[in-house]
Amino acid sequence: MSKKNVAVIPGDGIGPEVINAALKVIEKVAPGKFNFKSVAMGGNAIDKFGEPLPAESLKICQDSDATLLGAVGGPKWDNVPPEIRPERGLLGVRKGLEAFANIRPAKIFKPLASACPLRKDIAEKGIDFIIVRELTGGIYFGEHKLFNLNGERAASDLMQYTEHEIKRIAHVAFKMAMTRRKIVTSVDKANILTSSRLWRDIVIEVSKEYPEIKLNHLYVDNAAMQLIKDPSQFDVIVTENTFGDILSDEASQIAGSIGMIPSASLGDNNRGLYEPIHGSAPDIAGQDKANPIATILAGAMMLRYSFEMYDEANKIENAVDNVLNSGLRTPDIYVNSEGTKLITGSEMLNEIISRL
Ligand code: NAD
């Protein structure tokens, strides 16, 4: 196999620390298989180029076979004009890669079951679902306006979806469910929002092509409750951008720490963007406290979804399981109990590498 090109966006805060860990792990399981090209994006790009996503950075990502991202942002750039905030770079790269489907697994790692904030009997029923979030449409990409209304300040953000955008994300969800327990839960607010009523109609239309799948619908407020009440009922949840953003953060807490969960953003061509779900954690940056597992698992997702390197991806996931089973914990997942030991982020990396 010729070498594959991977654009790497270390980003800001703990981004470079966790990316460094993921690259070391990938190099260990698949030595010499990739050309990694580092790309400026986020706050560091604002400092250097005056914008969060220089055209050259986006071009490198678009020309690569996959993109691996740490995290961007931080207090230093909190007051820059909205159009050049680090998060704009993030939205730009997702849009530029036409990565319209965000895949977030929410799975409880058995050794971390005690870290689940839900009641023991609920956690023990098992938590293993995927949230498929629409990523390039909806309110985050609609028109944003600040204006004057009857002499006072007013603001509006437009929530808009097209048939084509809903159809393609529904297909991703149904296809994923076909490889799992064959249940899709579509989350909307169809009792109030017109965009949600269109969403529901189209999801139902697409479901006709997948007769083996059991399709449920939940309003987003009920979905937020059900995630706490009985997450074991879910297999694949599909929802629009904003609802997905909120529900997947909720799900991340159910499944343990934000430092454990990877995500993939896929387009039609399998050129995915892979990243941890956490941000740049400026409060712990440079202190060797960051848990690298989410980004390492994002690397495993990249191997699986973009490069079909299933054995290598499984090896990484098994090594992570193995380290957790041995009781080693970074601060974010540490609970002082018998058999657990507190370690740093770089020690966590070394422990994972030694088990590959
Ligand atoms: P955050 O995810 O950065 O941090 C939330 C909390 O989780 C913090 O206490 C942090 O220390 C902890 N945490 C996060 N990742 C961790 C890890 N790997 N190991 C251990 N602990 C971890 O969210 P925030 O504080 O809301 O945002 C900080 C900055 O990150 C902001 O500028 C925000 O805009 C940006 N952000 C970026 C992304 C991204 O790049 N995808 C996502 C979310 C937030």
| Minimum-distance ligand 1 atom for the alpha carbon of 77 | 32
pLDDT at 1: 64
Residue 166: in which H helix or E strand, if any? helix 163-178
CA of 303 to the centre of ligand 1 (A): 24
Low-confidence winner among 119-128, 234-243, 313-322 (lowest mean pLDDT) = 119-128
CA distance 288 to 238: 36
State pLDDT tens for residues 288-322: 999 999 999 999 999 988 898 999 999 999 999 99
- Cβ(286)–Cβ(12) below 8 Å: no
pLDDT at 342: 96
Q: Of all residues in the chain, what percent carry a pLDDT higher than 70?
A: 99
Q: Is 140 among the catalytic positions?
A: yes
pLDDT at 123: 85
CA of 191 to the centre of ligand 1 (A): 33
CA of 281 to the centre of ligand 1 (A): 4
Assess whether the C-beta atom of 348 lies below 6 angstroms from ligand 1.
Answer: no
Give the CA distances from residue 231 to residues 181, 182, 218, 256, 300, in Å, rounded to whole numbers and listed in that order: 14, 16, 13, 13, 25
- Cβ(106)–Cβ(180) below 8 Å: no
Give the CA distances from residue 77 to residues 65, 74, 80, 137, in Å, rounded to whole numbers and listed in that order: 30, 6, 5, 25
Strand partners, 26: none
Q: For a pocket test of ligand 1, which of 17, 250, 258 has the largest count of ligand atoms closer than 8 A to its C-beta?
A: 258
State the pairing for strand pair 236-239/183-188: parallel
Assess whether the C-beta atom of 290 lies below 6 angstroms from ligand 1.
Answer: yes
CA of 280 to the centre of ligand 1 (A): 5
pLDDT at 337: 84
Sequence letter at residue 215: L
| Arithmetic mean of pLDDT, 60-64 | 96
Is residue 159 scored above 70 in pLDDT? Answer: yes
Low-confidence winner among 216-225, 315-324, 332-341 (lowest mean pLDDT) = 332-341
| Arithmetic mean of pLDDT, 161-171 | 97
Of 4, 65, 140, 274, catalytic: 140
Is residue 232 scored above 90 in pLDDT? Answer: yes
pLDDT at 82: 86
State pLDDT tens for residues 32-54: 999 999 999 999 999 999 999 99
CA distance 44 to 104: 27
- What's the chain's average pLDDT? 94
- Cβ(100)–Cβ(135) below 8 Å: yes
Q: Which residues contact 301 (CB under 8 A, 6 or more apart)?
A: 103, 262, 263, 264, 272, 274, 313
Assess whether the C-beta atom of 345 lies below 6 angstroms from ligand 1.
Answer: no
- Cβ(285)–Cβ(17) below 8 Å: yes
Assess whether the C-beta atom of 240 lies below 6 angstroms from ligand 1.
Answer: no
Q: Is 145 among the catalytic positions?
A: no
Assess whether the C-beta atom of 278 lies below 6 angstroms from ligand 1.
Answer: yes
- Cβ(2)–Cβ(60) below 8 Å: no
Low-confidence winner among 120-134, 145-159, 314-328 (lowest mean pLDDT) = 120-134
Residue 185: in which H helix or E strand, if any? strand 183-188
State pLDDT tens for residues 179-222: 889 999 999 999 999 999 999 999 999 999 999 999 999 999 99
CA distance 232 to 41: 38
CA of 351 to the centre of ligand 1 (A): 24
Assess whether the C-beta atom of 281 lies below 6 angstroms from ligand 1.
Answer: yes
Assess whether the C-beta atom of 279 lies below 6 angstroms from ligand 1.
Answer: yes
Tokens of 185: 């839960």
Q: Is 120 among the catalytic positions?
A: no
Is residue 107 scored above 90 in pLDDT? Answer: no
Is residue 110 scored above 90 in pLDDT? Answer: no
Assess whether the C-beta atom of 299 lies below 6 angstroms from ligand 1.
Answer: no
pLDDT at 214: 98
Residue nearest atom 36 of ligand 1, based on CA coordinates: 279
Assess whether the C-beta atom of 73 lies below 6 angstroms from ligand 1.
Answer: yes
CA distance 117 to 343: 22
State the pairing for strand pair 273-276/152-157: unpaired
pLDDT at 328: 96
Confidence band of 121 (pLDDT split at 50, 70, 90):
confident
pLDDT at 77: 96
| Minimum-distance ligand 1 atom for the alpha carbon of 72 | 40
The number of C-alpha atoms within 13 Å of 292 and in the hemisphere containing its C-beta is 32
| Arithmetic mean of pLDDT, 17-41 | 98
